Amino acid sequence: MSTEIYPTQTATPVHSEKYPLQIEYAAVWALSEEGLMVRSQAGISSTIAEVIPWDSRQIYLTGNRSLLGSSLWLEIRTESGVAGWVRAWNLTEYIPSDQFCEDVAARSLLDTFQQTLQDRDGGGLKELVSPNRGLSIRLNWYNPDVTFAIDEVNSIFNDTSEMDWGIMADSGLQVVGSFETVIQPKLEDVFSGNPEVLCNELKWGSTAGQVLWPEELDQLNFYVFHRPAKEGGNELDWRTFAVGIEYVNHQPFIAVLIHYSSEL
């Protein structure tokens, strides 16, 4: 396990093309009750300079950055004018919803994504996922992220490693298994047919559970692919995938997949 320390000097650019300046950023993967902590220096041990709302926008980079172990930190200037450091993981380029839903490049990305699923093409999928964070997957919206780094995506369809996907809310059962056994069949169930497609709008069927887009991803745009229950069949037999998309230097990439299904 790497230990974060203060940088000894102003950091030098790391992968600067992935975090261009003069772009508005928004906060992601931050909880409403905690907010996003802006620190006086890079690193989780540094003092907190300010706590900004979990769904903040109008965040801009100063250009200073620091790589501590595997964690990239960026210096930002907040809407209030305070300068401080946050993890790059908690920033995403801000794209208004209406602009996103009209973006031909995002729809083309999803067409290619469906083809990579059909072909089980890990190399092709690797080119589609966010270069900033890899690919995060949730078995259900309330489960923790299982995140595949960029280099791991290449072999995702053949990886037999067992992972903890979290607890099912209705049964309390823990789900452990590989991507191939837990997630892949659900993806094929939705994308092998002709699912309904919606932009920044969830779609679901009959269920006793809640169906929510996670609040910590509120500034992340998404497309929904919904496979409804068959007419006259079991109304609980529906499935949905939400595909969260983030932009890197104005180009769309897939950042997160979230699965939804009926709960009793």
In CATH, the architecture of 97-261 is Roll (3.10)
d(C-alpha 138, C-alpha 170), whole Å: 16
d(C-alpha 90, C-alpha 71), whole Å: 11
CB atoms inside a 10 Å sphere around CB 174 = 10
H helix or E strand, kind and range, residue 71: strand 71-77
User: Could you write out the DSSP letters of every residue in 98-123?
Assistant: HHHHT-HHHHHHHHHHHHHHHHT-HH
- The CA-based angle 107-113-119, given to 5 degrees, is 145
- pTM beyond 0.75, yes or no: yes
H helix or E strand, kind and range, residue 59: none
d(C-alpha 241, C-alpha 203), whole Å: 9
The residue-averaged pLDDT of 117-132 equals 96
Type of residue numbered 150: I
User: Could you write out the DSSP letters of every residue in 156-192?
Assistant: TTT----EEEEE-TTT--EEEE-HHHHTHHHHHHHHT
Tens of pLDDT, residue by residue over 138-182, are 999 999 999 999 999 999 999 899 999 999 988 899 999 999 999
User: Which residues are within 8 A (CB) of 209 and not within 5 positions of it... i.e. 6 or more apart?
Assistant: 169, 170, 262, 263
Count Cα atoms within 13 angstroms, Cβ side, for 222: 24
The residue-averaged pLDDT of 200-222 equals 96
Question: Which pLDDT value is given to residue 2?
Answer: 32
Band of pLDDT at residue 17, cut at 50, 70 and 90 = low
Asked if residue 135 lies in contact with residue 255, where contact means CB atoms within 8 angstroms, the answer is yes
Asked if residue 31 lies in contact with residue 53, where contact means CB atoms within 8 angstroms, the answer is no
User: Which residues are within 8 A (CB) of 153 and not within 5 positions of it... i.e. 6 or more apart?
Assistant: 122, 125, 126, 129, 134, 135
Assigned CATH for 16-93? 2.30.30.40
Question: Which pLDDT value is given to residue 169?
Answer: 87
Mean pLDDT for the chain overall: 91
**Domain spans, the chain:** 16-93, 97-261
Q: How much of the chain, in percent, has pLDDT values that exceed 70?
A: 94
Tokens found for residue 167: 């607890």
3-class state of residue 201 by DSSP: coil
DSSP state at residue 221: E
